Amino acid sequence: AQSVTQLGSHVSVSEGALVLLRCNYSSSVPPYLFWYVQYPNQGLQLLLKYTSAATLVKGINGFEAEFKKSETSFHLTKPSAHMSDAAEYFCAVKGTDKLIFGTGTRLQVFP
């Protein structure tokens, strides 16, 4: 069965600092992985996806993630945080008939 684990329920960074949100997956088959972002009182917006093509995936808003099979990881990064990046971020793995989500990481950005 597939699962994802997000390390750190809260991450705080200063504006302009590197953002690193961690996600580790467990899957018995080659995984399809996703990062979604949720702003307050909104639904989920797809940031990026890994579907077994390039291991470095670029998404919207300057985010990217690298698939590392040896580490079973799919961490999300952004070189320079912006105040507007403050939100909750969810890593997800494709299950047989559904998306399986991690518990989420709330990102705070301080001026």
The residue ranges that bind other proteins (CB under 8 A) are 32, 34, 36, 41-46, 49, 51, 90, 94-104
* Residue 107 Cβ vs other proteins, minimum distance, rounded to whole Å: 17
DSSP E strands, the chain: 3-7, 10-14, 19-26, 33-38, 44-50, 56-58, 64-68, 73-78, 87-94, 99-101, 105-110
* Residue 13 Cβ vs other proteins, minimum distance, rounded to whole Å: 23
Is 98 or 111 the residue whose CB approaches other proteins more closely?
98
The rounded radius of gyration (Å) of the Cα atoms in the chain is 13
> What phi and psi values does residue 61 have, to the nearest 5 degrees?
60, 25
Q: Cβ–Cβ contacts within 10 Å for residue 42, how many?
A: 10
* Residue 62 Cβ vs other proteins, minimum distance, rounded to whole Å: 20
Is 28 or 41 the residue whose CB approaches other proteins more closely?
41
Is 22 or 49 the residue whose CB approaches other proteins more closely?
49
